[in-house]
């Protein structure tokens, strides 16, 4: 089912696919394919993110039911928004990689750093949404903008739920 593929790809968009395991008393953390367990390269993550963006476009298209005029006005603004969103997402991927490497031996300084970086990520995402609301309203009107923000929020919530389920708690 396409929706399930989208969920998996959205998960990988956020840099998930981390394998946290114990062997011989040592922990390991690396970006890994959820099916094979083999490490995933940064290039493969980039390809997966492109695939996810295509799926997001399909999900948005299916849910928004744009007129031709709305579509013509919306997509250029959305592409700018998605590009900026991906740059912010890069910070999250880096944070997850750092966390994966040390979650089982984290100290107070690292914990504070992780919290500050996570809050910065959230703040930048919120600032981005605020920045683009007027642009979307100009392109497609207030009601369609509200609907788009609902769809976008649902996609982000999906990612956050998957992250929460897969990332281990600090030891």
Q: Report CA 53 to chain centroid distance, whole Å.
A: 10
Which residue, chain included where needed, has tokens 């750093």?
A: 113
**Phi/psi of residue 40, nearest 5 degrees:** -105, 130
Q: Domain boundaries in the chain?
A: 2-166
Walk along the chain (171 residues) and give the pLDDT tens digit of each residue: 344 344 444 444 444 343 444 333 333 345 555 555 555 677 776 777 777 777 888 999 999 999 999 999 999 999 999 999 999 989 988 898 888 888 889 999 999 999 999 999 999 999 999 999 999 999 999 999 999 999 999 988 887 887 778 778 888
Q: Check residue 60 and give its pLDDT.
A: 94
Which residues, 6+ apart, have CB-to-CB distance to 163 below 8 Å?
14, 16, 96
Q: How far apart are CA 51 and CA 69, in angstroms?
A: 26
pTM, two decimal places: 0.74
Which residue, chain included where needed, has tokens 């979650």?
A: 103
Q: Check residue 55 and give its pLDDT.
A: 83
Q: How far apart are CA 55 and CA 159, in angstroms?
A: 14
């Amino acid at each position: 089912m396409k929706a399930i593929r989208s969920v998996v790809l959205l998960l990988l968009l956020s840099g998930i696919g981390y394998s946290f395991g114990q062997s011989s008393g040592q922990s390991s953390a690396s970006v890994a394919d959820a099916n094979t367990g083999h490490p995933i390269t940064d290039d493969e993550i980039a390809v997966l993110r492109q695939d996810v963006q295509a799926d997001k476009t399909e999900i948005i298209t299916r849910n928004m039911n744009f007129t031709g005029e709305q579509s013509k006005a919306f997509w250029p603004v959305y592409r700018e928004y998605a590009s900026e969103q991906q740059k912010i997402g890069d910070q999250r991927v880096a944070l997850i990689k750092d966390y994966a490497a040390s979650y089982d031996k984290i100290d107070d300084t690292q914990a504070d750093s992780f919290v500050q970086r996570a809050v910065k990520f959230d703040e930048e995402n919120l600032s981005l949404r605020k920045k683009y609301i007027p642009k979307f309203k100009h392109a497609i009107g207030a009601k369609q903008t509200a609907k788009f923000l609902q769809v976008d929020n649902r996609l982000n919530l999906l990612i956050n739920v998957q992250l929460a389920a897969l990332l281990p708690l600090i030891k």
